[in-house]
Structure 1
Amino acid sequence: MSYQKHFKVARNRLTLACMLALGLPCAAAEQLNISDSESTNLWFIELSDKPVAGGNSKSNVRAAQNKFKDAARDADLSFVEKRRFETLFNGFSVEISAANRAKLMQIPGVKAIYPVEVFHAPAVESSEGGSAADMAVALGMTGANFAQNSMNLDGTGIKVAIIDSGIDIDHPDFGGSGSNGSTSFPTTRIAYGYDFVGDAFNADPSSATYNPVPTPDFNPDDCGGHGTHVAGIVGANGRVKGVAPNVTLGAYRVFGCAGSTSADIIIEAMEKAYNDGMHIVNMSLGAAFQWPQYPTAQAADRLVEKGVVVVASIGNSGANGLYSAGVPGLGEHVIGVASYDNLGSAQQIATVNNRDIPYNIMTFSGMAPTTGSSDVVFIGQACNTDPLLANPAGKTALAVRGVCPFGEKAANAIAAGATSVVIHNNAAGTFSGTLGAPLGNGSVPVVAITQQDGLFIRSQENPVLNWTNRMVVTPSATGGRISSFSSYGLSPDLQLKPDLGAPGGSIFSTYPMEAGGFATLGGTSMSSPHVAGAAALLLQNNPQIPAMSMRNILQNSAEPKLWSGNPALGFLDMVHRQGAGMINVASSANATTYITPGKIAAGEGEAGPFTQRLTVSNSGSEAVTYQLSSVNALSTGGVITPSFFQGNASVSFSSDTLTVPAGGSTTVDVTINPATTPVNGQYGGYIVFTPQAAGQVYRVPFAGFVGDYQGIQILTPTANGFPWLATLNGNTFSRCLESCTYSMQGTDMPWFLMHFDHHARYMEMNILHAATKRPVHPVFHKTNVMEYLPRNSTATGFFNYTWDGTRLHSNGGKGKTMEVPNGDYVLEIRVLKALGDKNNPAHWEVWMSPVISIQR
């Protein structure tokens, strides 16, 4: 290594303080850790030939894959094959170095490459309160209760796949034997499934428990909890009653007990669910900020094309701004689901001296009785270091929250002979909690009440608690509104996402018996299974519904809700946040009108008015006449930090009224005049079909972009001044401000750190001579050619790319690369904006690197 390079690397490692002292240029950071990058060494390779589900034969797919492997071997391309796919996706997942990654696109038959995203175990919002009646409240929000009770729909005969962390096969709400672990898989209710990973699997390399080696087996029992909770919302039938309580479930386990999985394992699970004949697949998981072309979305789309309804959570990245929706929910045919908060928390009621005392049962508590009474004594803090203030033997012990865990308080009370334990809050409001594990024989009820009720009991001279079978619903301040965590659309190609919404905030459902049996969780993970269950009810009601039509049917009858930020203003929440609105299962099941398409993507406003022809069909016995109108929802500006505006789009119709004959159909042209504000914003609204006589109202959501979509900047520098040319020393990237010299050995090669503020359609790196800025070859001068790049997840995140000193040496996919000689070069990085025109220079962003000196 030359002195010159030593000097330049050392200079680039100077701290900000040193730079200021020496009068050198300074930036917010000159070093970054490789672990801070959002890049990966695992990649999907998509081949040009269609997969089996796309109409190809298995023999043709395998021949194309073998041909690729032969060509890669001839090109000396080194990688480790992880998984091979042929049914829903034609290609591989591979582990490959950053240096070799640029060569992949040159192998014959390669269509595209994509990073194998790490799917983190879905984050859930902890929720206060919780009882079995919470699901009853949520079922009422969607009309599923009416479908169950008045239409006798329960999902009988419908098979629903849960691709998640498995399902607790011992859980009695799925027909299991209880907590003794004696249930054998498969069961009557959980009749299909597979464990792809094992308990210890964790695909996240940044995790302390990173373990990328799966240990699959045939028993998809759940130890993480998430899948059991999701499955309960779909089809529990016990203490919790799900949306479709008699469906047959398939448990496809892709998460270990904790941690993360990878996108290729999820595709494996989809292929297994398809081969098992599932009617519906629910995926309460996702990778945010991706494109609908991503492999998991492609595979999900092909499932729908083959007749399987696919439902997926749209994501919990609401705090990360617009275009944060995730795959597979972004898939063209996938039903991507947003979350609304539950209307309220249903609490069971006890009475003390004729006063109603609502309570929440703690996790790992024994069941609360519905009859019986006992005296109440106040025992104080009840921590190990505190003496009990009264003897609770044979009585109900009342303790105050604080200082020590709930389990410690309850254990002390139970050890002293208490027949039940009540813990009151030490601040205003309701709460719930966990005991950490079953106490004693697990039969003693331990419940939580408010501070106000606790102080009332303590004020009574002889308090007596009476258990009842009554319940009360405590309204939620945010009930019925879009949940704060729910992700925003649109998709990066301006398709309307999410598609619709369902309850997902504060949902009480099943949980592994080892962890208490039941839990209250929140997230789009909880809203997606409401829609999967709804689809099961609709399929039972009409088995002839095509998978491709299910979303339209649900969207036609959905009901948009008011803005979560301030519903009192009367504005509808963003279409790109709630889609068509809250599903209404009963209305969808009883609908006699069907409108296609069920949603309208109006595209860029720069193109002017957008016209869409809608087809309206009437399966009823009488003609129906509709009055057509429209209503705007709120618009948003910005990307990572949205701002809100009153929408000003307008809609005109080829006819303001529409008569649809019995058993027939007719069409109407809808012209959307795009909103004019805010600049680079998103707008939307609803086409409303109101019957002139009595009957159901139907809606079609629309959304679009204000102005020129290519007006969004992609390569924003952030505080760190990206893009960077960098060196990699161990795990540290050091920025090169002027030039750096590289030996091209190991990791000593040029690295490029780039922040993408928005999705990019295409990226190429052109190799130029430093002195002349002319290409190193008139035609073949590229490296790192990539398509469909996601945006970074945060305002400061970055991806890293490297250059191995070679240039691609073919345009026809010959697998050739050529080494450039030693010398001085610069890389011109060109990024094509989302939906950009390659022939329009204004749609490109260009960055020129500092000088790269190659000295092998």
Structure 2
Amino acid sequence: MRITMRRRAVVGALAAFGIAATTVAVPGVATADDPQGPEPLAPVHTTPTDGDGAVVNETPGAWFVELETRPTAQGGKRAAVRSDHAAFRRAARDSGVEYTEREEFDALFNGFSVDMDSSQLGKLQRTEGVKAIYPMVQLSVPEPQSTSSPEMATALAMTGSDVAQNELGLSGDGIKVAVMDTGIDYEHPDFGGGEYPTERVAYGYDFVGDAYDAGSPDPAARVPQPDSDPMDCQGHGTHVAGIVGADGEVVGVAPEVTFGAYRVFGCEGSTEADIMIAAMEMALEDDMDILNMSIGSSYTWPDYPTATAADAAVDAGMIVVASIGNSGRTGVYSTGAPGVGAKSIGVASVDNTNNDAALAIAEPSGTEVPYTVLADVAAPPTSGSTDPMVHVGRGCVDTLGDELLADPAGMTALVDRGDCAFAEKYDSAVAAGATAVVIANNIPGLFNGGGVVDAGVPGVGISLASGDALKAEIEGGADVTLTWTDETTSVVSPTGGEKSDFSSYGLSPDLTLKPDLAAPGGNIHSTYPLAKGGYATLSGTSMAAPHVAGAAALLLEADPEIGTTEMRDLLQNTADPILYAGTYVETVHGQGAGLIDVPAAYAATTSVTPAKISLGESVVDRVDGEPVFEPVTTTLTVSNDSDAEVTYTMGHTTALATYGDTFAPTLSILDATAEFSADTVSVPAGGSAEVDVTIISPGLDGYQVLYGGFVEITGDDGSEISVPYAGFDGDYQDIEAITPIDLGDGTVVDVPWITRLTQCAEFVELDCIDPAGSFSEAGGETFSLQWVDGLPDYPYVVAHFDHQVEDFEISVIDGKGRSKGAFTVAADLGSLGRSETAAGIQAFVWDGTATKKKGNREVTKTLKDGDYQLRIDALKANGDRANPDHWETWTSPVFTIDRPGKGNGKGKG
């Protein structure tokens, strides 16, 4: 059977033996009409990620191979690691694994990165000495939203970094901060200028070269060309470094730090994870105090190599700060490595309190009209005036059949935001002859209008207040025009101080509390390469992480004895929980401990460990089918570093919860309960005391509730410390991981399939993969295990993952459902993440081999021709291997292997 799927709706995530996976929550979400379930507060904002119709191919052609001995940064002996490497090369050669070695690692990760066809993965997995294999993910950086005059002051004020500089005298002097990114424009005057190495940018290396792009269809561009000059030609790294420590027109958080610029991106495009680890190892060799990584791969487990390498760097004495990811619009469980690592500081983003906006003047009133340029539309001129303005209404001509309220031909169209896409409003006005398009917001504040394609007509967005004022002038009979200027103005953001909607939600797939804390990342003005204007405004958790790295530099300057893990605890203890809509406490799995507070961290004389509590799942058993909810008790150690006894009072505040569909969860007010072994505790000067806190979940099963709150500890000396907690309310293993795809329009794609690839053999050509045309369901068909007409004639298992899985195995059985003797395992792929969308697919190719245990070794065998089936066994996240209910299985239809030529033993498999 072949099913036709809309290319726009299905994102192809071809995953050959080990690529990250995809998630959707279980059906049956409670509604407001269900008194037993959560009361919905609001949907978490989500937007499709495939709006341009492009299908993303995520199939890796490169892999991490992890070996058994611990890396040297975590206590492994160098001789033992080198012995591991030599033994692997011998075993791989003996097993016939065909691969090309890319990088060799020993300090933060023990193993290799390799280029290899996915058909070799079965052999590689079973090679003696291999602990695990991970797909090589590609990572990209965001483009700037706009360019404007430099301003960091409001972001600094949000975290008290301005107070730390001006009143506490902290600057980051003597602290070395590594920026692993696109490089740094060290010639920029805000970094002191000069030729590399400079006084400010004193360390660094370019691992890739200008032309490098890991995702390029040009093979030459995918080959790194390293050199010693880390000059930034892309922009992201210069912007990040400016937030850490620029000192000029832009003043960063720690303006006197010394930088290491470790460049892992070319002038455009993406990089790969092994290059990141190579850069991390060099930063460690250069004795960097702090490493900032505004890079990440969403939906990954904490055991992904970039995350475990970050943990090893922390163990070796380097504070590691990483962005938590920009996939918040795709729902929960969207955090990524390396920020999801157990010991790194994973940073969420909050919006800046103020934005810079371009400025126009309304005539004849002379009123100032701040505006933003609609995405991809050329900016208006910096002088001159528009044609007179007419109000045309909402402009939803195509989708809602609107008629424009006035004819904008030869005039400026004033359009109301709402009910249809920005592009439709712009296009409708332009089609009617408008010479400029102005879209007025329908809620307070400015906005960034995306998805609009330039038609040669200026297009801008203005605030609700400006729109109302212009409409009043028009209704009063005035010929209203806008005069463009080259000026900018600072405007208050209506979402200032709130979690940025793009910032990824936790929890980590193992239910660890992530993110750890938050910092300003939405609409941040910072340095940019001189060749690109010198300054820019960008948004992302990429901008939040360097704020925390700079804050850590200030605190490390003040107290050089702060340990690498102690720094995260200190920042979490003293963070300020942020609010949603100015009223409710934001989800803990969205903000972590909250917005960092540098002066509070500097002055803190009280600390508490653990600094965060990961509760796990609340249902631990079922009796007669009914769930048994188990409270979680944690012992908190409260330490008093002041010179006097302090009595502390225990308190508790709940935060918002989410429930329902992973990709489109709903916010709700769900109260957990906290009980303390003592309501107060007195701690002598220099001493510590323990107090138990027991968290009782809301007690809802079957709704996929992620809940959280804060334990509050208030001292009679005025000290205030908080500890965030979060957990899953219910039975985590009730979430189905492998499900059909529901496209939301009544179309259900009944995967898993056994399939063949029918077009586009060159997986590196990212734009060519269309799952509707690339795969056809192939049950009952015959495969030659050869390349035919330029395509691999191999069986693929195509599946959709509604949630992360902890282990994924593919086994071989014969056409009658019987095991193939001792040789059964086709692949054991370990943990898989979820993909970006609810309509993602993963494809796993089988090469006709299987394995069995032989003593301490695994032996691989090429199976004979004949009839076969492939069986999936997937262990649910945090599942018990011994519990069959925690495994999901699927068995393919029968298919036939028939290799060309004689003597292949057809039918005797």
TM-score by length of 1: 0.82
Deviation of 1:501 after TM superposition, in Å, equals 0.2
CA distance in 2, matches of 1:274, 1:261: 20
1:709 alignment counterpart: 732
Deviation of 1:801 after TM superposition, in Å, equals 1.1
Q: Within the alignment, does 1:854 sit opposite 2:872 as a pair?
A: no
2:700 alignment counterpart: 677
Please state whether the residue corresponding to 1:270 is helix, strand or coil. helix
CA distance in 2, matches of 1:781, 1:841: 19
Contact 2:250 2:526 in 1 (8 A): yes
Contact 1:494 1:705 in 2 (8 A): yes
Q: Within the alignment, does 1:201 sit opposite 2:212 as a pair?
A: yes
Residue of structure 2 aligned with 1:650, choices 673, 698, 702: 673
Residue of structure 1 aligned with 2:94, choices 63, 66, 74: 74
Higher relative contact order (CA closer than 8 Å, sequence separation 6+): 2
Deviation of 1:97 after TM superposition, in Å, equals 1.6
CA distance in 2, matches of 1:560, 1:455: 41
1:280 alignment counterpart: 290
CA distance in 1, matches of 2:242, 2:854: 53
Deviation of 1:809 after TM superposition, in Å, equals 2.5
Residue of structure 1 aligned with 2:614, choices 577, 586, 601: 601
1:734 alignment counterpart: 775
Residue of structure 2 aligned with 1:49, choices 52, 69, 90: 69
Cα deviation, 1:80-125, whole Å, max 9, x if unaligned, reads: 111111110000111122221012121111110000101122x257
Please state whether the residue corresponding to 2:830 is helix, strand or coil. strand
Q: Within the alignment, does 1:841 sit opposite 2:858 as a pair?
A: no
Please state whether the residue corresponding to 2:164 is helix, strand or coil. helix
CA distance in 2, matches of 1:380, 1:361: 16
Residue of structure 2 aligned with 1:230, choices 203, 227, 240: 240
CA distance in 1, matches of 2:876, 2:359: 58
1:132 alignment counterpart: 150
CA distance in 1, matches of 2:120, 2:383: 72
Deviation of 1:332 after TM superposition, in Å, equals 0.2
- How do 1:408-807 residues align onto structure 2 when only pairs under 5 Å count? 426=438, 428=440, 473-563=490-580, 566-567=581-582, 570-607=583-620, 608-638=630-660, 639-677=662-700, 679-691=703-715, 693-718=716-741, 719-731=748-760, 733-736=774-777, 738-746=779-787, 747-771=792-816, 773-777=817-821, 779-807=822-850
Change (3 A) 1:70 1:15: same
Change (3 A) 1:79 1:622: same
Please state whether the residue corresponding to 1:787 is helix, strand or coil. coil
Deviation of 1:358 after TM superposition, in Å, equals 8.5
CA distance in 1, matches of 2:526, 2:471: 27
Residue of structure 2 aligned with 1:340, choices 347, 350, 373: 350
Cα deviation, 1:359-394, whole Å, max 9, x if unaligned, reads: 7999xxxxxxxxxxxxx9956579xxxxxxxxxxxx
TM-score by length of 2: 0.77
Change (3 A) 1:541 1:348: farther
Contact 1:130 1:508 in 2 (8 A): yes
Q: Which amino acid aligns with 2:801?
A: F
Q: Which amino acid aligns with 2:677?
A: S
Change (3 A) 1:687 1:734: same
Change (3 A) 1:203 1:809: same
Deviation of 1:541 after TM superposition, in Å, equals 0.6
CA distance in 1, matches of 2:219, 2:653: 51
Please state whether the residue corresponding to 1:192 is helix, strand or coil. strand
Deviation of 1:680 after TM superposition, in Å, equals 2.0
Deviation of 1:454 after TM superposition, in Å, equals 14
Q: Within the alignment, does 1:143 sit opposite 2:160 as a pair?
A: yes
2:459 alignment counterpart: none
CA distance in 2, matches of 1:585, 1:191: 26
Cα deviation, 1:137-184, whole Å, max 9, x if unaligned, reads: 1111001111111100000000000000001111000001xxxxxx31
Change (3 A) 1:29 1:61: closer
Deviation of 1:491 after TM superposition, in Å, equals 0.3
Contact 2:755 2:779 in 1 (8 A): no
Change (3 A) 1:831 1:812: farther
Return 222-231 or 50-59, whichever deviates more: 50-59
Percent identity over paired residues? 46
Return 100-109 or 595-604, whichever deviates more: 100-109
Change (3 A) 1:48 1:30: closer
Please state whether the residue corresponding to 1:231 is helix, strand or coil. helix
Cα deviation, 1:460-493, whole Å, max 9, x if unaligned, reads: 9xx999999xx97521111110001000000011
Residue of structure 2 aligned with 1:319, choices 322, 325, 329: 329
CA distance in 1, matches of 2:573, 2:10: 51
2:873 alignment counterpart: 830
1:114 alignment counterpart: 134
CA distance in 2, matches of 1:495, 1:30: 28
Deviation of 1:262 after TM superposition, in Å, equals 0.2
Q: Within the alignment, does 1:219 sit opposite 2:239 as a pair?
A: no
Cα deviation, 1:40-87, whole Å, max 9, x if unaligned, reads: 121100000111111123222111101100011011111111111111
RMSD: 3.5
Change (3 A) 1:780 1:16: closer
CA distance in 1, matches of 2:134, 2:588: 29
Q: Which amino acid aligns with 2:613?
A: I
Contact 2:359 2:485 in 1 (8 A): no
Return 51-60 or 292-301, whichever deviates more: 51-60
CA distance in 1, matches of 2:12, 2:515: 38
Contact 1:499 1:580 in 2 (8 A): yes
Cα deviation, 1:398-427, whole Å, max 9, x if unaligned, reads: xx9999xxxxxxxxxxxxxxxxxxxx9955
Please state whether the residue corresponding to 1:714 is helix, strand or coil. coil
1:818 alignment counterpart: 861
Contact 1:37 1:797 in 2 (8 A): no
CA distance in 2, matches of 1:107, 1:578: 42
Change (3 A) 1:822 1:380: closer
Contact 1:767 1:827 in 2 (8 A): yes
Change (3 A) 1:96 1:359: same
CA distance in 1, matches of 2:697, 2:360: 56
Q: Which amino acid aligns with 1:735?
A: S
Please state whether the residue corresponding to 2:213 is helix, strand or coil. coil
Q: Which amino acid aligns with 2:786?
A: Q
CA distance in 1, matches of 2:218, 2:308: 32
Deviation of 1:356 after TM superposition, in Å, equals 9.0
Q: Within the alignment, does 1:192 sit opposite 2:212 as a pair?
A: no
Change (3 A) 1:107 1:577: same
Change (3 A) 1:188 1:767: same
CA distance in 1, matches of 2:833, 2:5: 31
- How do 1:59-98 residues align onto structure 2 when only pairs under 5 Å count? 59-98=79-118
Cα deviation, 1:640-696, whole Å, max 9, x if unaligned, reads: 1111221221111110111111111111111111222362221100000122x3413
CA distance in 1, matches of 2:866, 2:289: 60
Q: Which amino acid aligns with 1:749?
A: Y
Deviation of 1:30 after TM superposition, in Å, equals 14
CA distance in 2, matches of 1:115, 1:247: 35
Structure 1 gap ranges (5+): 1-11, 18-27, 177-182, 363-375, 383-399, 404-423, 434-447
Contact 2:739 2:751 in 1 (8 A): yes
Deviation of 1:629 after TM superposition, in Å, equals 1.1
Contact 2:183 2:238 in 1 (8 A): yes
